């Protein structure tokens, strides 16, 4: 008997080459705040999009750091309130889009992010400000999820915030925005998307629609990521990668992620690894670990992707990462054996780790980490 499942995806998705220059007709209201990282502002990408919004008053906020802090959120919210923004556009990777999600809520709701996040007592009212997410990397999938991840520097923790208020009105997927991605970013964001897909697939809360999406996304990534890495001007590969990232995002938006992402949090906040690197570094080990708990599914996935079994898939993924210069050992991030107990405890503190189809406790997680030290 098939198990029951729930699927909800309210985001309108626009996919086309150059579509980011055609957003004006979709925007209700007059005042638009574009949130991006400093690089996208300095290189003119944010301004080009702003200039395409004929008839709109456009403001910019570009002080977004990787793994965005609560302080960045509050500063961006102040800018949105000052502009009286009717629409917030998150332009960039997951950091910019996650900040845009909560700023679209805080434009009308009072207070700080701390009032709503990590122990806060307030809840968001119905969001009145339009939210548009425009990814410039092929990895995060944040444009089609209702999750934002923020760093509470006061507490020294990085945690997700999940609310239906974070679903974007539009996800604008323009492959042209990824053409300038350097190879290292292409690799790390692409492997992050692979993690999203496989975690949605083996998740204890998995469901058939997400399984099909996740399998297709993984197939696209394995086919095209090295091409995009080797030749940044391969337009077919660029289009395939940002499409795969979005599809993987839809898949994990319904299931959440698992142990890979749980263990990535301390690796980003304490060892300053990029999010994609922090996730993918444990990916081959998790594939091997989950062979028993999700044996049938992983065998089916391996066959679909062209491998004899999950062990062969794990070996291939590890070799792919190495071919793109990505670290596959924690020691390459500066982690030492005496740090493993702490990383284990932090990872186990994230509830999503228990969605992994394997026993997740201090012994098993520590052993996994030590095996890739």
Query: Which of 145, 177, 209 is at the close of a domain?
Result: 177
102 within 8 A of 161, measured Cβ to Cβ: yes
Burial (0-12, 13-18, 19+ Cβ within 10 Å), 214 = buried
Same domain, 338 and 215: yes
For residue 3, is it within any domain? no
For residue 155, the model assigns a pLDDT of 83
Same domain, 169 and 269: no
Tally the residues of the chain. 373
CA-closest candidate to residue 136, choices 68, 219, 46: 46
- Percent of the chain whose pLDDT exceeds 90: 94
Residue 157 is part of a domain; what is its CATH number?
Answer: 3.40.50.1970
Domain enclosing residue 26, as ranges: 12-177
Q: Check: pTM over 0.85? Answer yes or no.
A: yes
For residue 141, is it within any domain? yes
Average pLDDT of the residues in 104-110: 96
Measured CA to CA, the distance from residue 234 to residue 269 in angstroms comes to 33
Same domain, 115 and 227: no
At 9-53, the pLDDT tens digits run 999 999 999 999 999 999 989 999 999 999 999 999 999 999 999
Order of strands across the sheet with 87-92?
12-15, 170-173, 130-135, 87-92, 31-35, 57-61
For residue 5, is it within any domain? no
For residue 120, is it within any domain? yes
| b/e burial code for range 128-164 (CB count within 10 A of at least 16 → b) | ebbbbbbbbbbbbbbbbbbbbbbbbeeeebbbbbebe
User: Token match 């007592």: residue?
Assistant: 121
Same domain, 249 and 274: yes
At 146-205, the pLDDT tens digits run 999 999 888 878 888 999 999 999 999 999 999 999 999 999 999 999 999 999 999 999
What is the chain's percent helix, strand, coil content, to nearest 5? 55, 10, 35
**pLDDT confidence bin for 62, thresholds 50/70/90:** very high
**pLDDT confidence bin for 303, thresholds 50/70/90:** very high
Same domain, 143 and 265: no
At 280-294, the pLDDT tens digits run 999 999 999 999 999
């Amino acid at each position: 008997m098939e198990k029951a499942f729930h699927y909800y995806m309210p985001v309108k998705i626009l996919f086309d080459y150059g579509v980011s220059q055609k957003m004006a007709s979709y925007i209700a209201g007059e005042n638009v705040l574009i949130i991006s990282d400093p690089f996208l502002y300095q290189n003119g990408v944010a301004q080009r999009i702003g200039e395409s919004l004929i008839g709109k008053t456009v403001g910019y906020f570009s002080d977004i750091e990787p793994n965005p802090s609560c302080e960045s959120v509050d500063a961006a919210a102040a800018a949105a309130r000052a502009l009286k923004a009717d629409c917030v556009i998150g332009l960039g990777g997951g950091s910019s889009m996650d900040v845009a999600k909560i700023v679209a809520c805080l434009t009308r709701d009072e207070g700080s992010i701390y009032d709503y996040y990590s122990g806060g007592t307030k809840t968001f009212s119905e969001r009145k400000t339009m939210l548009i997410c425009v990814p410039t990397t092929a990895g995060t999938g944040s444009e089609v999820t209702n999750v934002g991840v923020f760093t509470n520097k006061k507490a020294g923790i990085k945690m997700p915030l999940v609310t239906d208020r974070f679903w974007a009105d539009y996800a604008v997927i323009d492959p042209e925005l990824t053409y300038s991605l350097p190879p290292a970013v292409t690799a790390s964001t692409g492997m992050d998307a692979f993690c999203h897909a496989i975690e949605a697939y083996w998740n204890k809360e998995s469901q058939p629609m997400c399984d099909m999406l996740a399998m297709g996304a993984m197939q696209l990534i394995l086919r095209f990521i090295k091409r995009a890495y080797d030749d940044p001007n391969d337009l077919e590969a660029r289009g395939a990668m940002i499409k795969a990232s979005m599809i993987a995002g839809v898949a994990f938006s319904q299931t959440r992620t698992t142990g890979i992402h749980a263990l990535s949090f301390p690796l980003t906040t304490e060892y300053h690894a990029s999010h994609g690197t922090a996730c993918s570094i444990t990916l081959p080990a998790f594939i091997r670990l989950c062979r028993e708990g999700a044996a049938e599914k992983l065998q089916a996935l391996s066959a679909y992707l062209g491998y004899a079994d999950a062990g062969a898939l794990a070996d291939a993924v590890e070799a792919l990462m190495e071919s793109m210069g990505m670290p596959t050992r924690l020691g390459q991030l500066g982690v030492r054996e005496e740090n493993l107990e702490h990383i284990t405890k932090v990872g186990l503190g994230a509830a999503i780790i228990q969605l992994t189809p394997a026993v997740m406790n201090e012994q098993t997680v520590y052993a996994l980490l030590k095996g890739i030290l």
